[in-house]
Structure 1
Amino acid sequence: MSHSVAGEPPSAGRRSAPPTTAVYSAAEWDLLTDLPGRVLVAAASPGPGRPSRGVAAGLAGLDAVAAGRGFDSDLVRAVVAAIYARHDGASARYERLTDMVDLLAACRAAVRVLQRRADPADSAAYRQWVESVAARVCRASVADSSPADRRFLDRVGSALGLR
């Protein structure tokens, strides 16, 4: 990621990063922009006691990601914009990254990054938004969420520091 010095135009052929993203390293930004997709895929994937989800659940997750564009958080809006601007095959990586232990570790790592770098309001908005992605996927195809779905959502919420 290239950042221009104040008052200078960005490098030729590159767009300058939104000010919100400038405080994050490339690895931190990748973590924050990958996490919503990873949560979506993990929530849609069958697991112990969790049913296989259909297309409706995936669409609900995508809708939840897109809903971040309307959040009153510069960080969430910047993450959504970065997700939609991607052309690097990130969605193909998510299928390999659905292991629950790895997902929860990524959630905790994102919380640590947000504690160090983000405004508390942006941090809270981001964490709530990511949790809402999981919740919408889990609730998309069933009238009542199963105990396994509730455990999944509780574990994600705890890893995001929301419980």
Structure 2
Amino acid sequence: MRRPASGGSPEADPRTLPACAAGYSATEWALITDLPARVIVLAARPGPDRPDPGVAAGLAGLEAIAAGRAFDSDLVRAVVATIYSRHDGVTPPARPPADLVEVLAACRAVIRVLDRRADPADSAAYRQWVQSVAARVCRAGSQTRPEEGSAPADRRLLDRLGAALALG
């Protein structure tokens, strides 16, 4: 990491990150790039009013992340590139399963960062992309239980994510 000359927070090392990430601190970039996976874990987790969505839901989430490579947003493509570049063979520390409150707080934190640093069009594309990741996970989960259709819990989850992502 390098420090800005003014002594502010450390910024991401531009030699190891996509050009669009260079203006973010390492902490900010980690928050932005970790959020899609946290959303997948949350949306694919069964609950009292959500039957187990099955493996297909997690795979749909991974496909939705990969679909970000085709977005017309430098930010989304940079996030996807960062996610896919994490192949250093180091096993990340075990993290407790994402809970709703934690993920919603992370969404709001990311939005604050993007409001300060990102181009408004990139910010909007990122927020829509993260919401689409969750929607694809929920949709895939409901396809494993077609007799039930879309679970009300899935709709509530998507609504709460949309609100936390400031999507209207």
Equivalents in 2 of 1:77, 1:92: separation in Å? 27
Instruction: Please name the residue that 1:109 is paired with.
Output: 109
> 2:136 aligns to what?
136
Is 2:26 aligned against 1:26? yes
Corresponding residue number in structure 1 for 2:122: 122
Paired with 2:61 and 2:31, the residues of 1 have a C-alpha distance of 18
- Give the match for residue 7 of structure 1: none
Residue ranges of structure 2 left out of the alignment (5+ in a row): 4-13
Give the distance between the partners of 1:99 and 1:135, measured in 2 at CA.
17
Amino acid at match of 1:78: A
**Corresponding pairs, count:** 151
5 Å-filtered alignment, 1:150-161, equals 150-161=155-166
Which residue in 2 is equivalent to 1:66? 66
Which structure features the higher share of helix residues?
1
The answer on whether the counterparts of 2:44 and 2:141 sit within 8 Å (CA) in structure 1 is no
- Which whole-Å deviations, capped at 9, do the CAs of 1:128-148 have from their partners, x for residues lacking one? 000001000001032431111
User: Partner letter of residue 34 of structure 1?
Assistant: D
Q: Quick one: percent identity of the two aligned structures? A: 68
Separation in structure 2 between the aligned mates of residue 89 and residue 105 of structure 1, nearest angstrom: 25
Whole-angstrom CA distance in 2 between matches of 1:102 and 1:16 = 28
More displaced stretch, 98-107 vs 138-147: 138-147
Query: Does the residue aligned with 1:111 lie in a helix, a strand or coil?
Result: helix
Structure 2 Cα separation of the partners of residues 129 and 60 of structure 1: 13
Q: C-alpha deviations, 1:10-41, integer Å up to 9, x for none?
A: xxxx9443221011000000000000000001
CA-based RMSD of the aligned residues comes to 1.9
Give the structure-1-normalised TM-score. 0.86
Task: Note the alpha carbon deviations across 1:32-72, whole angstroms, 9 max, x for none.
Answer: 00000000010000123111121111110000000000000
Contact 2:17/2:82 (8 A) holds in 1? no
